[in-house]
Structure 1
């Protein structure tokens, strides 16, 4: 995970230098939009570097549940940068409608975009390899953002090509507006995902169903209730109450809970599982979340 964050910072830095040079030579506002995006990538990658390093810090005396929420906190910071820069880009693009500027030396910009696509594709491939091994939320979000950059860079090539071939000066700001809208949408996705994690949103319905299936598969488990789940960075937390034979010895109930815990951890290796044993048949009132969240 750390190596993936280092690779992101290195790639973003290289692209900033090349795109800054190309924008100075061409004056393309669409190319300027990708330069801003690369600057955001560098800032986001630096934030991710900090977040990943902090999130991987083991639980300590003051943070018994670990430091996983550093990832969504970093995500909110990234989203703020993206929203602000997208707004500035939108203003610049609208100004170009009022004061069109012909793009010069478009072949330089097209070459830079082609270089950017190759470099970004290599980074995305490595990030996907890391995500497959670690399931990191931060690296996964970063990878999605860079994957979108490939499309953005491709659109700039089209914009520059049309401007050079037909002299369509309006194509450049139109593409810039489209890129700005895409960046804002991307930022909103980051915000919603980060808030879900910070607000302890339940794990996906499929994951909860899988947990229930694992628990009920044990022959000595008579039922379950109060399943509660949440995510904190890579770390998942699963709490559940098992219903067992009321006459069962405590050491046997403890052994069954350990077996169920092991089965859940096999399916969710990055989770911390807390199991409470209840005697079956006891009439108790349990929270009903069916109106707002998946049934417990």
Structure 2
């Protein structure tokens, strides 16, 4: 994918997330103020943290797109994973606050005022969230952005949460007042579980987790397709933002000139960049005899 396409999709997804979150929070605050529903407060609190998380994404994704410089020679892509960790912290914090409020509501349940307004507000949130998730899914398919994936995971949970709020409001209007508090606790626990998933995903990126096995198989197949490459070893991969870093050793004949070995490595690198445009490739050339000596467990300098 071209850098311009990547930038377009992550900026579109992050900008729309900010707009959607702001519009939902305005509607939900009004509905909570009128109805005094704990479940609606839970939904409102979640939207407040959505705004904070989306604003973080809005700026972090733009920073992550900044080209490499003298201080960050590998680029700024890991800022996306840091944004994912920040979102996890926001979500976990909101979940704990909701538990405290819901327990208080269970101790002292109160009837709702004009619950139909809360139902309309929640329906609006369902539609807006559904459209946002669709936009994010398109962006993820084209960019594989960690930050957008984290944001999308949260908004997918919001769809279920808003449906739960609808059920809670409906039951509360039928006289089941305690349901309001129990649904708020359920939403809080769901948010905390989602925060765990986001934090683990971001952590894997920050810890340079290896790319999936099928990615390594693809790299190996492309490298070995060159007729003068006898094999590859020490393949290492990791992802930072949109960039996938790939490094490995290729095994070549001993009698090749340095300029010829360099040309072969360049050719393999070009093939990889064509097949995986987001890859940054580093190739080391090894004489075949040195590889054989290493595999025999001997010191090549003493051979």
* Structure-1 separation of matches of 2:27 and 2:127: 13
Q: How does 1:145-184 map to 2 (within 5 A)?
A: 145-164=154-173, 166-184=174-192
For residue 24 of structure 1, the aligned residue among 25, 33, 42 is 33
The match for 2:72 is: 63
* Matching of residue 208 in structure 1 with residue 222 in structure 2: no
Deviation at 1:265, TM superposition (A): 2.2
Partners of 2:78 and 2:240 within 8 A in 1: yes
Q: Give the distance between the partners of 1:259 and 1:94, measured in 2 at CA.
A: 65
- The aligned counterpart of 1:104 is 113
Q: When the two structures are aligned, how many residues end up with a matched partner?
A: 285
Aligned partner of 1:241 in structure 2 is: 249
Equivalent position of 1:191 in the other structure: 199
CA RMSD of aligned residues (A): 1.6
Residue 281 of structure 1 aligns to a residue whose secondary structure is: helix
Once residues 124 and 267 of structure 1 are traced to their aligned partners in structure 2, the CA distance between those partners, rounded to angstroms, is 29
Structure 1 residue 125 displacement after superposition = 1.5
- Please, which runs of 5 or more residues in structure 1 have no aligned partner? 287-296
Query: Pairwise mapping of residues 1-296 of structure 1 onto structure 2 (< 5 A)?
Result: 1-164=10-173, 166-282=174-290, 283-284=293-294
TM-score by length of 2: 0.89
Separation of aligned partners in 2, 1:72 and 1:167: 45
Give the 3 Å change call, closer, same or farther, for CA 103–206 of structure 1 in structure 2: farther
How far 1:271 moved relative to its partner?
1.6
- Does the aligned pair in 1 maintain the 2:84–2:146 contact within 8 Å? no
| Structure 1 residue ranges (4+ consecutive) displaced by more than 6 angstroms after TM superposition | none
- What is the alpha-carbon distance in structure 2 between the residues aligned to residue 84 and residue 142 of structure 1? 16
TM-score by length of 1: 0.91
Task: Verify the 8 A CA contact 1:238 1:274 in the aligned structure 2.
Answer: yes
Alignment partner of 1:41: what SS?
helix
Higher helix fraction (1 or 2): 2
